[in-house]
Amino acid sequence: MFSSTRAIFFDLDGTLVNTIPLIFAAYEHTLGEHLPGFRPPRQVIVGNLGRSLNAILRDYAVAAGVTDPDAVGDAMIETYRAFQRVNLERLIQPYDGMSEALAELRDRGYLLGLVTSKVEWAARMSYDRYGLGQYLSVSVFHDETTRHKPDPAPLLLAATKAGVRPEQTAYVGDSVHDMAAGKAAGMRTIGALWGPFEAVELNEAGADILARTPDSLPALLPGLELG
C-alpha cells in the first residue's frame, strides 16, 4: 500500500505536538469573552479539530445567534490568538517518541513535511519548542491557501512544494478532517490514535492504516522503508 511513498506529511495539533489542552483553554477563554453562556459540548470542539479556526469561530458565533457573526468571529480570532501567544509554552506537551520517529523516517530518506490549519507563528512555536522543525523540509500553514482541510488544497500545495505526486505521499493526522483531506488529495492516510479521535471515527473517515503511538510509526509501516 505504501511502497511508492516518498514523502510523509504530518498534521500539527494532536499529531506532532499535544496542543489539545491549549486549544480547550483558548476556546474557554475566547467564548467566555465574546459569547458568554455559549458552551459547545466537548465532542463538538473535538469534532472541529483540523478545520480552519476562522471557520470554527464564525460557526460558533452563528450558533450563538449574534447579529454580526463575521465581526464577532474576527474579534474572537484576535482574542484566541492573543491567549495562545501568552499561554502556548505553558499548556502544550510533547508526544513521547515523536522526535525519534521523525529522525528514523528522515534517515531512511523520506522527505518530511507539515500541513496544518494553524497560522505560521503558532505552528512554529509549537514544533520548535520540542526541536521538531529540524526534520521538516516542507511546511504549509493556514494563510497559504484560501481553502482549508477537509479540502485537499493545503495538502496538494505541500506536494507541489515537495516536488512529489500526491500518490507518492502519506498524510499522518489525528482528525477525521485530516483523513478526508488526505483521501481527497489522492494520498495515503495514517490515523494517529494518540490524538482525541477514536479509531472507528478515523476508519470511517478513510484512514488506510492506524498508528497507536508515534514511536510505532516506523515499525508499523515497514513498507514505507525505501529500498
pLDDT tens string, the chain, 227 residues long: the values are 677 889 999 999 999 999 999 999 999 999 999 999 999 999 999 999 999 999 999 999 999 999 999 999 999 999 999 999 999 999 999 999 999 999 999 998 899 999 999 999 999 999 999 999 999 999 999 999 999 999 999 999 999 999 999 999 999 999 999 999 999 999 999 999 999 999 999 999 999 999 999 999 998 766 554 44
pLDDT value, residue 227: 40
Which strand (E) or helix (H) includes residue 28?
helix 20-34
Q: Look up 178 and say whether it is catalytic.
A: no
Q: Which of 11, 13, 151, 174 is catalytic?
A: 11
Cα–Cα distance list, 66 to 130, 163, 164, 208 (Å): 40, 45, 45, 41
The CATH architecture of the domain made up of 7-18+94-224 is 3-Layer(aba) Sandwich (3.40)
**The three grid cell numbers given for residue 215, joined into one nine-digit string:** 514511536
161: left (phi over 0), alpha (psi -120 to 50) or beta: alpha
pLDDT value, residue 113: 98
Q: Which residues pair with 8 in a beta bridge?
A: 112, 170
pLDDT value, residue 4: 82
Domain ranges of the chain: 7-18+94-224, 20-91
pLDDT value, residue 222: 62
pLDDT value, residue 223: 54
Contact 145, 154 (CB under 8 A): yes
pLDDT value, residue 16: 98
